[in-house]
Amino acid sequence: MPDLLIELFSEEIPARMQAKAAADLRKLVTDGLVDAGLTYAGAAAFSTPRRLTLTIDGLLAESPTLREERRGPKVGAPDKAIEGFLRGAGVSRDDLEEREEKKGSFYYATVTTAGRPAAEIVADVLEKAIRTFPWPKSMRWGAGTLRWVRPLHRILCILVDEAGANVVPLDVDGIKADNLTEGHRFLSGDVFAVTSFDDYETRLKRQKVILNPEERAEAIWNDATNQCFAAGFEAVEDKGLLAEVAGLVEWPVVLMGEIGEDFLDLPPEVLQSSMKEHQKFFSVRNPKTGRIERFITVANTETADQGATILAGNQKVLAARLADAKFFWENDLRVAKSGDLSPWTDKLAAVTFHNKMGSVGDQVSRMAAMAEKLAPMVGADPALARQAAEVAKADLSSEMVYEFPDLQGLMGRYYAEAAGLPNAVAVAAEEHYSPLGPSDAVPTEAVSIAVALAEKLDKLTGFWAIGEKPTGSKDPFALRRAALGVIRIVLENGLRLHLDRLFDAQLLRHEIGMQPTQEAAALRDALLREVAQHGVFGSAVRAVIDQIEGDAPDWISAVTEHKPDLSDDLLSFVHDRLKVHLRDGGISHDVIEACLAMPGSDDLVLLVKRAESLAAFMATDDGTNLVQGFKRANNILSQAEEKDGVEYSYGGDPNFAEDPAETALFTALDTARAKIKPSMDSENFAAAMEAMAELRAPIDAFFEAVQVNAENEVVRRNRLNLLSSIREICSQVADLTRLEG
Amino acid sequence: MAASIDKPTCFQDIILRLQAYWASKGCTILQPYDMEVGAGTFHPATTLRALGSTPWAAAYVQPSRRPTDGRYGDSPNRWQHYYQFQVIIKPSPPDLQALYLGSLEAIGIDASMHDIRFVEDDWESPTLGAWGLGWEVWCDGMEVSQFTYFQQVGGHDCNPVSGELTYGLERLAMYVLGFDDGNAMPFNSPDAPIPLTYGDVFREAEAQYARWNFDVADTDILLQHFKDAEAECARILEQPADDPKTGRRIVMAQPAYDQCIKASHIFNLLDARGVISVTERQAYIGRVRTLAKMCADAFVQTEAGGYVA
């Protein structure tokens, strides 16, 4: 069985694309081979900056011969039909066989497809893979039309068996497959021929190319930690950077350099960001001082001076960059240390947030209003929450964040500290963007929570108000992430909030907008405070409106005529994200649906409590008892309600009970009610459901002994009303009709 | 070994060597375009010649202006007026990377002593409606050139594809000559009877331009000039292809493109004066791009652009 070796040799492939490209090559080629009938024993793919390599072993030497029987037209059909069949099957009339069937006699042909040699199939499959390769971005070059990530120079493609290696004949837009490759751009000599994968990998290493990216990464990390250890330092681990750097070199050479005394006082994040983002350096910490004092750079070449020139050059570039950073840091500190951040916050009025939502300054004032309202609900001081929101985005005007945008928030904290602002305010400046992803930490300080929630609620309601909801895979403003952020902040901090009211309040704030006078703004704020606390349709809102002296401003109609469509829609968007979040936590969708159908579903903590209790309860025998008991009662009840066209909800009268089992059920229901009430009041859903499950036995006994549809209509109605009590009692935790199975 | 490579001695030596090298590789050595531009790419020898199928190979120095980079001559590495060296070859030859590495050797960068890397960097010019894929070339961690395979210019697919190399001459020279302060590096030979540094040549003018760019330029006049250039560009291109006087077909792509260059530079000046808001910025860039596209449309109607009568 032959082995196959493929190398696609090109100009430098972007590091971030290499791993996926190797995997894609493997998938495209192996899928193609298998589809054509060529099975194989194993396959592995590798990448370097200049090559994608695929090795496949134990490939079939040729695809198997296929025999297929085809049914043709009826015997005696027009010649045209028969000739057409013959053409399609590739056989002659003599090869046809006639067979009797129920509906008459039919022609049959046996079609044999001969196996094809592996080389032919490989050539087809590889050409197709090259022409349809899923690069994130590809290009043309020279006068050709072929597309690749960067100009493609060579195709190495050989099949190797006991007799030796054979080049697979293939020509893609003038690039002919061969058995040739080349080594390191600067450290190796001429093009050379290879005879097998082992030979290829060994020769490459001799020509200063490590083929396997994992081996390169390991070599880099080993060497880096060894050099650091020898000098009494420690390298700061960064797996993403390591993978990227391994994709920038074929022959890694690790060099350690010094940052320079002048720059050691910069915030460590600034050092790390400058070194990582721009120079791809690893940070090296001095364990004695805890500071980042050195760096590791990875060169792609060996030199006669052991990298001294390379290191000096890198050090010089870093010094120039850090000199800039230091300049920005010192300028910014001068502003911050004045204690007054208003030169920065004022500037935000000139920065567009979104052309339909005004400036970042507008965003900040909306956030501040929301944070202040949220503060009492999350245990924060309202004045502090407002102050924190007002300076949370001040750092966007700083020189440092202008140069290093990924330091936003973090610099905000440094500058708020330098300005002597309360610690909670400084921390919130950093944390109000959190959580940025599903695994990012959630803020836990009360003030940070208020500002982080305000930021996300403002964003969600704002984009909802202008009709920019995410669709399909498009979510340019990262609203799904914002919704998940709200969910995680609420759940992980156990916050009891009425999201619906908060949505309405902030939607109205977007709608009403900035107010020209202080008086109007005060009225707006008073109204929205009531909306956030009591809902837009509450009497509290009415009361504020009634107290307006003189003519009410035009925008009052926005409040009085407010429709809940948008906030409902936004809530169901949040519920959708919550479903995904809970499903990831192992709670099935029908359990979630059953709980979503209950009132108060905008209180996510309550909702999740219900769902978790129900999911856990459904896994027990009592869970089955509860559902079976409920369903038995509910089915009969629903049928009767449909037939009679009424809803039975009265509850029944024990005085009309005829059978002891019926009386017993009345008693059991009373006992259950008494037990369930305090459990529900304390949101102990498990205890409530246990009490419901105890009803199974009396329910079953009732159905054994009693015919619900009694002839006496009074007795029948009383029994149906009795069943309605079961439904009412059992539906307090969740809508059990939505459970499957 | 490093010692075996002959090192350049001054800024102009690097320019002369690059010109000699690319001349020896068959490029036409052009002179700078006689207008204010933001980068060497704006030279019609690149922007317009990258269009159409006619083969082309040129190299030139292009003085370039970025008003916002002005530092009154005080910065060691930023000037509002600086030089780019530009190479453009159409179709891009298969050994363009090797040719480029040869040019580094010609200016004294010995690949056996340095770490030279091609790091992903996709180039895009929103004002020219142009983009390409390629790299920034690193020498010991410092970006020394931009290497691009043009895919589109002025909204037209490049076919064949041009290979474009851009060297930032000041930064490159500072590295090769070993100067941290660009103003201190020698412009002509330090042994010349009258040795001049880069600062001797430019420092005073840098301060003058910084003052004018940032505080003095009359924004009303500039705004009017922008509109004028825009209008003139459109008017030129509205003319019929056939010249009534000579009876010849003369599509005036390049005079129109001059107006596009003018508009682009005026926009940069307005930007430096701080009178363009964030939202307006995009609109101005869009207006220049519209002009660039119109000029590209016109150029492909000329013989150089591949028009066949």
Q: How many CA atoms lie within 13 A of A537 on its CB side?
A: 4
Tens-place pLDDT, residues B99-158: 999 999 999 999 999 999 999 998 999 999 999 999 999 999 999 999 999 999 999 999
Place of tokens 């052009």: B30
* Dist CA B144 CA B148 (whole Å): 13
* Dihedrals phi, psi of A52, to nearest 5 degrees: -115, 130
**pLDDT tier at A328 (50, 70, 90 boundaries)?**
confident
Q: Assess whether B72 and B189 both reside in one domain.
A: yes
Q: What is the pLDDT of residues A456-511, one digit of tens each?
A: 999 999 999 999 899 887 888 889 999 999 999 999 999 999 999 999 999 999 98
Rounded to whole angstroms, how far apart are CA atoms A462 and A479? 11
B307 falls within a domain: no
Q: In this structure, what DSSP letter does residue A467 have?
A: T
Q: Is the ipTM of this complex over 0.90?
A: yes
> Is the domain of A179 the same as that of A231?
no
Q: Which one of B211, B230, B258 terminates a domain?
A: B211
Q: Are residues A374 and A408 in the same domain?
A: yes
Angstrom distance (rounded) from CA A235 to CA A222: 10
Taking the CA of residue A112 and the nearest CA in chain B, the distance in Å comes to 46
> Could you please report the per-residue DSSP string of A31-56?
HHHHHTT---SEEEEEEETTEEEEEE
Please count the structural domains in chain B: 2
Instruction: Please tell me which of A26-30, A338-342, A522-526 the model is most confident about, judged by mean pLDDT.
Output: A26-30
Same domain for B198 and B295, yes or no, is no
Mean pLDDT, residues A281-305 taken together: 95
Is the four-CA dihedral A494, A498, A500, A502 of positive or negative sign?
negative
Partner residue facing B141 (CB), from A297, A303, A351? A297
A 68-97: CB under 8 A from B:
none
Q: Which of B134, B140, B151 sits opposite A314 (nearest CB)?
A: B140
Q: Kindly report, residue by residue over A381-406, the tens digit of the pLDDT.
A: 999 999 999 999 999 999 888 878 88
Q: Are both A417 and A478 inside the same structural domain? A: yes
Considering CB atoms only, which of B1, B92, B135 is closest to A141? Answer: B92
Lookup: tokens for A226: 């060894």
B181 touches chain A (CB under 8 A): no
Q: Say if A616 falls within a structural domain.
A: no
Kindly indicate the confidence band of residue A359, based on its pLDDT and cuts at 50, 70 and 90. Answer: confident
Domain match, A82 and A55 both: no
Check CB contact under 8 Å for B141 and A300.
no
Alpha carbons B276 and A696: distance in angstroms, whole number: 75
Residue B97 phi, psi dihedral angles, 5° rounding? -65, -45
Residue from the list B93, B113, B119 with its beta carbon closest to the beta carbon of A248:
B119
Q: How confident is the model at residue A611 (pLDDT cuts 50, 70, 90)?
A: very high
Bridge partners (DSSP) of residue A295 are: A257, A283
Burial (CB count <10 Å: 0-12, 13-18, 19+), residue B216: exposed
Helices (H) and strands (E) in chain A, counts: 29, 18
Strand, coil or helix: what is B187?
coil
Report yes or no: A558 and A523 within 8 Å, Cβ to Cβ: no
Quick one: pLDDT at residue A655?
87
Give the residue from A700, A679, A702, A681 showing the smallest Cα distance to A689.
Answer: A679
Taking CB atoms and an 8 Å limit, are B77 and A320 in contact across chains? yes
Residues of A in contact with B141 (CB under 8 A): 279, 297, 310, 313-314, 317-318
User: Is residue B175 within 8 angstroms of chain A, CB to CB?
Assistant: yes
Same domain, yes or no: B139 and B46: yes
In the listed set B189, B211, B233, which residue is the last one of a domain according to the structure? B211
* CATH code, domain carrying B279: 1.20.58.180
Average pLDDT over residues B245-256: 96
* Amino acid at residue number B63: P
Q: What is residue A534's predicted lDDT score, i.e. its pLDDT?
A: 87
How many angstroms separate the CA of residue B65 from the nearest CA in chain A? Answer: 21
Residue A645 has, within 13 A of its CA and on its CB side, a CA count of 0
Exposed / middle / buried, residue B159 (Cβ in 10 Å: 0-12, 13-18, 19+):
middle
Nearest to B278 among A186, A317, A352 (CB): A352
Residue of B nearest to A320 (CA): B180
> Residue written as tokens 């180039």?
B123
- Which residue, A266, A301, A267, A295, is CA-closest to A279? A295
Q: b/e map of A181-195 (b: 16 or more CB within 10 Å)?
A: bbbbbbbbeeebebe
Which conformational region is residue A358 in: left (phi greater than 0), alpha (psi within -120 to 50 degrees), or beta?
left
A9 chain-B contacts, CB cut-off 8 A: none
| B2 band by pLDDT with thresholds 50, 70 and 90 | very low
pLDDT higher than 50, residue B1: no
DSSP for A71-99, please give it: EEEETT--HHHHHHHHHHHT--GGG-EEE
B205 and B226 housed in the same domain: no
Q: How far apart are the first and last CA of chain B?
A: 56
Q: Is A602 a domain residue?
A: no
Same domain, yes or no: B61 and B120: yes
Per-residue model confidence (pLDDT) at position A741: 65
A506 and A568 co-located in one domain: yes
Region of poorest pLDDT, from A424-438, A637-651, B53-67 = A637-651
Q: Is B221 exposed, middle or buried (0-12, 13-18, 19+ CB in 10 A)?
A: exposed
Place of tokens 């030859």: B93
Total of domains in chain A = 5
**Cβ distance A178 to A167 under 8 Å?**
yes
Tell me the three state secondary structure of residue A338.
coil
Would you call B97 and A11 a contact, using CB atoms and an 8 Å cutoff?
A: yes
**Mean pLDDT of the region A533-547:** 84
In this predicted structure, the answer to whether residue B194 has a pLDDT above a threshold of 80 is yes
- Average pLDDT over all residues of chain A: 92
* Residue that is last in its domain, among A175, A206, A237: A206
- For residues A86 and A92, give the distance between their C-alpha atoms in angstroms, rounded to a whole number: 6
A543: domain CATH number?
A: 1.10.3210
Provide the 10 A C-beta neighbour count for residue A508.
Answer: 23
Q: Is residue B270 part of a domain?
A: yes
Residue A431 in this model has a pLDDT that exceeds 90: yes
B239 and B197 fall within a common domain = no
Q: Which residues contact B263 (CB under 8 A, 6 or more apart)?
A: B226, B229, B230, B233, B287, B288, B291
What's the residue count for chain B? 309
Helix (H) or strand (E) holding A176: strand A175-178
Q: How confident is the model at residue A7 (pLDDT cuts 50, 70, 90)?
A: very high
Angle, CA of A637, A638 and A642, to the nearest 5°: 120
The shortest C-alpha distance from A456 to chain B (Å) reads 24
Q: Which residue of B has its CA nearest to A276?
A: B141
Same domain, B150 and B259: no
Same domain? For A166 and A245 the reply is: no
Whether chain A has a CB inside 8 Å of the CB on B135: the answer is: yes
Same domain flag for A48 and A126: yes
Q: Indicate whether A358 and A506 sit together in one domain.
A: yes
Structure-block tokens of residue B301? 């109607």
Range of the domain at A269: 213-334
For chain B, say whether A8 makes contact (Cβ under 8 Å): no
End-to-end Cα separation, chain A, in angstroms? 52
Instruction: Specify the CATH number for the domain of residue B196.
Output: 3.30.930.10
**Which pLDDT does position A490 carry in this prediction?**
97
Distances (CA, A) of B275 to A297, B268, B280: 42, 11, 9
**Domain range spanning residue B290?**
218-299
Which tokens is A160 given? 């190797």
| DSSP strands (E only) in A398-505 | none
The string over B171-204, giving b where at least 16 C-beta atoms fall within 10 Å of a residue's C-beta and e elsewhere, is bbbbbbbebeebbebbbbeeeeeeebbbbeebbe
Per residue in A68-99, pLDDT (tens digit) is 888 889 888 888 988 899 888 888 888 888 89
What the block records as the tokens of A145 is: 């039309």
Q: How confident is the model at residue A559 (pLDDT cuts 50, 70, 90)?
A: confident
d(C-alpha A577, C-alpha A263), whole Å = 44
**Residue A708: is its pLDDT beyond 50?**
yes
* pLDDT bracket for residue B5 (50, 70, 90): low
Phi then psi for residue A241, to 5 deg, are: -65, -40
- State which of A155, A182, A206 marks the end of a domain: A206
Question: Is residue B42 domain-shared with residue B136, that is, in the same domain?
Answer: yes
Note whether B5 contacts A: Cβ–Cβ < 8 A: no
**How buried is A363 (Cβ within 10 angstroms: 0-12 exposed, 13-18 middle, 19+ buried)?**
buried
A235 & A261 share domain: yes
Nearest-neighbour CA in chain A from B232: distance (Å): 32
> If you average pLDDT over residues A446-465, what whole number do you get?
96
Q: Examine residue A516 and state whether it is found in any structural domain, yes or no.
A: yes
Q: Is residue A158's pLDDT more than 50?
A: yes
Measured between beta carbons, which residues in chain B are less than 8 angstroms from residue A300? 115, 117
Q: Are residues B99 and B227 in the same domain?
A: no
CA–CA gap between residue A81 and residue A220 (Å, rounded): 70
Residues B193 and B245 in one domain: no
Q: Are residues A150 and A228 in the same domain?
A: no
User: Angle A499-512/A518-534 helices, nearest 10 degrees?
Assistant: 160
User: Quick one: A711 and A563 in the same domain?
Assistant: no
Alpha helices in A207-279, H assignment, sequence order: 213-231, 239-246, 268-273, 279
Tell me whether strands B116-120 and B81-90 are parallel, antiparallel or unpaired: unpaired
Average pLDDT over residues A535-548: 84
